[in-house]
């Protein structure tokens, strides 16, 4: 099931930032790159939007049934995708404690949508993805974890740059 895999990735993400001061986490390595905190913000925004969009799609009477897509390719950072506006992170200062609460809330929302959804509806309905086209709703739950895994690599590289510049 998706939850265990997503939880493993989330633990790795949180472990990567544990013990690092909020000032460092809110620092961008360069003007065009996200800070570690912005990466975390992007993750919770994405998870929330996915959950909300699945909920909306489930409420519709008509939705296209499509074949499963190779969502495991999400982890590859060779394919560059600009974040849609609605999941672009804030530029404001956020504490790690606050961000952990936001991440917990987005995960709780996704889990609630999964629990409330009839399995057959998750298989029979779909949502558009900017790279994969229409993706069955059932695949959006593991997609969140794969997306997070992709950004874990980005987070680790960003932290290396920041910590390399402070040593």
Confidence of residue 82 (pLDDT cuts 50, 70, 90): confident
CA distance 45 to 6: 15
At residue 68, the pLDDT reads 96
> Residue 89 in contact with residue 103, Cβ under 8 Å?
no
pLDDT per residue over 65-77, tens digit each?
999 999 999 998 7
For residue 38, what are the CA distances in angstroms to 2, 34, 61, 87, 133?
A: 24, 6, 36, 10, 26
Residue 166 has pLDDT above 60, yes or no: no
Residue 1 has pLDDT above 90, yes or no: no
At residue 165, the pLDDT reads 63
> Taking the mean position of all CA atoms in its chain, how far away is CA 159?
18
Confidence of residue 81 (pLDDT cuts 50, 70, 90): confident
Percent of the chain with pLDDT over 70: 98
pLDDT per residue over 15-46, tens digit each?
999 999 999 999 999 999 999 999 999 999 99
Q: Mean per-residue pLDDT for 103-132?
A: 96
pTM of the model: 0.94
Phi and psi, residue 134, nearest 5°: -75, 130
The closest of 110, 149, 106, 112 to 10, measured between CA atoms, is 149
Q: Is 5 helix (H, G, I), strand (E, B) or coil?
A: helix
Q: Is 3 helix (H, G, I), strand (E, B) or coil?
A: helix
The closest of 48, 65, 67 to 56, measured between CA atoms, is 48
């Amino acid at each position: 099931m998706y939850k265990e895999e997503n939880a493993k990735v989330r633990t790795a993400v949180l472990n990567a930032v544990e013990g690092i001061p909020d000032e460092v986490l809110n620092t961008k390595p360069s003007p065009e790159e996200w800070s570690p905190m912005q990466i975390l913000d992007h993750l919770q925004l994405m998870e929330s939007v996915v959950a909300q969009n699945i909920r909306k799609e489930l409420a519709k009477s008509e939705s296209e049934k499509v074949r499963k897509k190779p969502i495991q390719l999400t982890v590859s950072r060779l394919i560059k995708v600009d974040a849609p506006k609605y999941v672009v992170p804030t530029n404001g200062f956020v504490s790690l404690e606050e961000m952990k609460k936001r991440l917990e809330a987005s995960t709780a929302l996704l889990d609630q949508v999964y629990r409330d959804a009839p399995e057959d509806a998750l298989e029979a309905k779909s949502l558009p993805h900017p790279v994969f086209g229409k993706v069955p709703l059932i695949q959006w739950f593991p997609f969140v974890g794969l997306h997070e895994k992709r950004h874990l690599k980005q987070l680790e590289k960003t932290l290396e740059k920041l910590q390399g510049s402070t040593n």
